[in-house]
Amino acid sequence: MAKEAQYTEENIRSLDWKEHIRMRPGMYIGKLGDGSSPDDGIYILLKEVIDNSIDEFVMGSGKTIEIRIKDREVHVRDYGRGIPLGKVVDVVSKMNTGGKYDSRAFKKAVGLNGVGTKAVNALSSYFKVESVRDKQIKYAEFQLGELTNDPDIEESGRRKGTKVSFIPDETIFKKFKYRSEYVVRMIKNYVYLNPGLTIDFNGERYHSDNGLKDLLEEYQSEEDMLYPVIHLKGEDIEVALTHSKTQYSEEYHSFVNGQNTTQGGTHQAAFRESLVKTIREFYGKNYEASDIRKSIVSAISIKVMEPVFESQTKTKLGSADMGGGLPTVRVYINDFVKTQLDNYLHKNPNTAEKLQRKIMQAEKERKDLKGIRKLARERAKKASLHNKKLRDCRIHLGDMKKERRLESTLFITEGDSASGSITKSRDVNTQAVFSLRGKPLNCYGTSKKIVYENEEFNLLQAALNIEESLEDLRYNNIVIATDADVDGMHIRLLLLTFFLQFFPELIKEGHLYILDTPLFRVRNKKETIYCYTEEERVAAIEKLKPKPEITRFKGLGEISPDEFKHFIGNDIRLDPVMLDKSMSIEELLSFYMGKNTPNRQEFIIKNLKVELDKVEAE
């Protein structure tokens, strides 16, 4: 019989604020990551600091925020009111301390729970806060949340405001790197939501005059829009929407008090509901909700008194009330959309006509696909029961789903060999594997019907659970893992075409990645070095003299499971797939995946010559 575990007073332990944050960082900042994903912890740390500066702007103090990131060191400077000098240390090191508990100082702020900068402090190897007000300055320095320097208040001629500097702790955020693309995306959201605000990031200035209208035009090119953006503004609400010519599913950008609620919440659900209701009443027809919302690209921002979020990372709104004596979120949004959208459509008959044609087209396509969709779903259900294309992860079981959803990953691989290596190496809790059979179809120029008719696409769509929208996306990260050869590159290109053609919002929202695996293994009896480039291989050979063993990995299946676990574990390298706004999706796909155009031939010949010249020079 097993010996009963002892449970005494000695087992009871109290943690101070920084110990608790460092022991359970996921409770405060979500997943950790290395910076390859936009929701990795290092961006949450940055966001927590910027949020405080944004709140100063919202309260009418400070129109400029300066952000500097060099290597791994971050500086955020605002020109707001400045932290009261006697509380500078407390607000960054004592839990439940902050001005936002006093609604007179911060009416509709994001950071309401007094945790944000404390988490940044505790998770940083170096942290410094400076406050200037009343011609005086006070600063304090910390290491891992421990106060290391606390000088007295001094006289100062600097402009009032607050500056926070920090370096994320490398023992927690391993081999991390700030990607400027993700920082810029975050900054653009801030300026779209706060017209009149200027953010200077490493010398580049960002500003918006048109709010959410500018946001949609950033995500959707003019050529891809069915009609110009409908832009509606109220005192505590702003809405922008259009319909896409090129994508099929729904796309939402939602915000509460300036916070990007990537998982939606009560406000997003209310908007979707009120949109359908208003459209039905305007046209006097009981259109299907899915037909009305198909291909919609939209954004909604509301301001709520003391919002309740479902986690510290504030990605989903749980509040039902607006606060301040206003009606519920649902009623408030419904009344606003009903009045403002109805008025807009009456005043803009061309837009109203285009929208109705779009709805009727969606209705026809849905009816045409009804039979094949039913058959495809049955086929996908049967396939998920009887074959092993999808090796799922445990995150979708029980309570683990909510706790670790942001860590969920689906690897899309080619063939049994590669999928076998990844399956044996993966973290079964958070990583799933989908195995392709052969090369996918080039789906450029095809209709959604092909997704249901093609077994590979149908099963992939079912595995991701994205048939209608991204709201129920089962995996936060979708990783294309193909061999580092010509066939592997071709398969990667065909998969990218599939996502761009039918689900571009997956890419826009930062869910799609390419797995970077080593090309070479260079080793001797004492050391093994994995090389991702030719330059790294040369350096490794030089380091491991004399004559080390060199292996070229042509396929993922050639890498043993024991080795592979390093490349999809803590040391995983992911290259995010991003869209360049300078070229529309249609132009992009037409150029690379359309018929063999003279322009593409010229492009290939020109770049091939450049590569050959490089080889000859070497």
DSSP 244-256: BSS--SBEEEEEE
Decide if 366 contacts 290 (C-beta within 8 A).
yes
Task: State the Cα–Cα distance between residues 582 and 593, nearest whole angstrom.
Answer: 18
- The answer to whether the CB of 232 falls within 8 A of the CB of 240 is yes
Q: What is the pLDDT of residues 555-585, one digit of tens each?
A: 787 888 888 888 888 778 888 888 776 667 7
Q: Tell me, yes or no, whether 540 and 566 share the same domain.
A: no
Does 64 reside within a domain? yes
Sheet holding 251-256, edge to edge: 230-233, 237-243, 296-302, 251-256, 259-260
Question: What does each C-alpha distance from 186 to 178, 257, 406, 452, 484 come to in angstroms?
Answer: 12, 14, 18, 36, 33
Is residue 117 included in any domain, yes or no? yes
Amino acid 46: pLDDT? 94
For residues 269 and 327, membership in a common domain is answered with yes
What does pTM read for this prediction? Answer: 0.78
**Measured distance CA(142)–CA(503) in Å, rounded:** 45
Q: Are residues 483 and 545 in the same domain?
A: no
Does residue 253 contact residue 219 with C-beta atoms inside 8 Å? yes
Instruction: Give SS3 for 166.
Output: strand
The verdict on whether omega for the bond into residue 548 sits within 30 degrees of 0, i.e. cis, is: no
CATH code (residue 164):
3.30.565.10
Same domain, 453 and 536: no
Between CA 207 and CA 57 the distance in angstroms is 13
Domain count, the chain: 4
Residues of the chain whose pLDDT is less than 50? 1-2, 7, 9, 11-14, 97-107, 111-114, 385-386, 612, 615, 618
Instruction: Give the mean pLDDT of the chain.
Output: 83
Q: Are residues 49 and 71 located together in one domain of the fold?
A: yes
Does residue 423 fall inside a structural domain? yes
Q: Check: CB of residue 444 under 8 Å from CB of residue 457.
A: no
Residue with tokens 């899309």: 412
pLDDT attached to residue 151: 92
Q: Per the domain annotation, does 162 fall within a domain? A: yes
Q: Residue 271: give its domain's CATH number.
A: 3.30.230.10
Give 305-308's long-range contacts (Cβ < 8 A, gap of 24+).
305/103, 305/107, 305/108, 306/103, 306/112, 307/112, 307/256, 307/257
pLDDT in tens, 326-362: 678 888 899 999 999 999 999 999 999 999 999 999 9
Location of structure tokens 């922008």: 240
List the domain range (segments joined by +) for residue 177.
17-207
From residue 97, alpha-carbon distances to 17, 25, 87, 105 in Å are 12, 19, 9, 14
| Residues 399, 419 within the same domain | yes
The pLDDT assigned to 370 comes to 79
- Check residue 393 and give its pLDDT: 87
For residues 183 and 236, state if they share a domain: no
